[in-house]
Amino acid sequence: MAKESSGPIDPRVARTRRDVIRATVTTLLEEGWEATTHAEVARRAGYSKATVYAHWPTPGHLLRDAIARICEDATQPPMTGDLRSDLHVSLSAFATALSVGRYDRLMAGVIERAAQDADARKLRDRLYETATTGVRTILATRLAAEDVDPCLTMLVGAVLVRTSYEGKTATPSFITDIIDRVLGPAEVRPTTRPADDIAQQDAL
């Protein structure tokens, strides 16, 4: 993470940090983890390597700030209240981020390092939480609590396999089919006890 300052940040320093993090994000998404070096980031940002090292002593500092920026910039599609429609929009956005935004490369790099690096595990968890917030929120508004995590895993996992491992497009028909298969059994489960059950319990 970039070095903290106890006083107001100099506008020139703020501009440098902004430019360098933007260049780091671009390099990370376009070229991958191994290519995200101080030299490459400095070249893209238009600063010297010494300047980059002064604020981010190690590649890990650069990567943490870049992923933090990616998570901060992430936006979630608005919800309409229609479960299937909202899921379709959110999963389509997730598929686009993986295949077009190259988040598949980013996530693969984090997962690869998470086994040996506690910081990488934190980044992995934050990326997953950010990427799935929209789908999780939609599911939580309509399904029983115990159904949310399993449905989230199946929906997100299906899109991830389709786009990243199979290298195919998550078409609208594919996403519709996955939603129908996953929600078929889950939607029939009530999120609250029926009124007659509550009345019977109160009478006891």
Neighbouring C-beta atoms of residue 48, cutoff 10 Å? 12
Tell me how far apart the alpha carbons of residues 77 and 164 are, in angstroms, rounded to a whole number.
22
What's residue 9's pLDDT? 67
Residue 56: what pLDDT?
94
CA–CA separation, 127 and 121 (whole Å) = 10
Q: What's the pLDDT at 196? A: 44
User: Residue 97 is inside which H or E element, if any?
Assistant: helix 83-99
Residue 202 has a pLDDT of 45
pLDDT of residue 105: 80
Task: Tell me what pLDDT residue 187 has.
Answer: 57
What pLDDT digit, counting tens, does each position of 148-181 carry? 999 999 999 999 999 988 989 999 999 999 999 9
Separation between Cα atoms, residue 9 and residue 17, nearest integer Å: 11
DSSP secondary structure letter of residue 37: -
Question: How far is 42 from 62, CA to CA, in rounded Å?
Answer: 11
- Residue 145: CB atoms within 10 Å: 9
pTM of the model: 0.74
Residues of the chain with pLDDT under 70: 1-9, 185-204
